[in-house]
Amino acid sequence: MAAALAAARAGDTVDVAAGEYSEQVHLASGVTLRSHVPRAAILRAAPLANGPAAIAENVEGARLSGFRILAAKDMPIATGILLRNSNVEVDDVEVDGAGVGVEIRGRPTRCCGPTRFTIARTRAC
What percent of the chain clears pLDDT 90, i.e. is strictly above it?
A: 57
The sheet with strand 77-84 has its strands ordered as 25-26, 54-57, 77-84, 98-105
Query: Both ends of the chain: CA-CA distance in Å?
Result: 24
User: At a CB cut-off of 8 Å and minimum separation 6, what does 5 contact?
Assistant: 14, 25, 26, 27, 28, 31, 33
Find how far residue 124's CA is from the centre of its chain: 13
Classified as helix, coil or strand, 23 is coil
Give the CA radius of gyration of the chain: 13
pTM of the model: 0.83
Domains of the chain with bracketed CATH: 2-124 (2.160.20.10)
Average pLDDT, stretch 111-124?
Answer: 49
pLDDT for 1-30, tens place per residue?
A: 889 999 999 999 999 999 999 889 999 999
Average pLDDT, stretch 64-69?
Answer: 95
Find how far residue 63's CA is from the centre of its chain: 8
pLDDT at 111 over 90: no
Predicted pLDDT at 115: 46
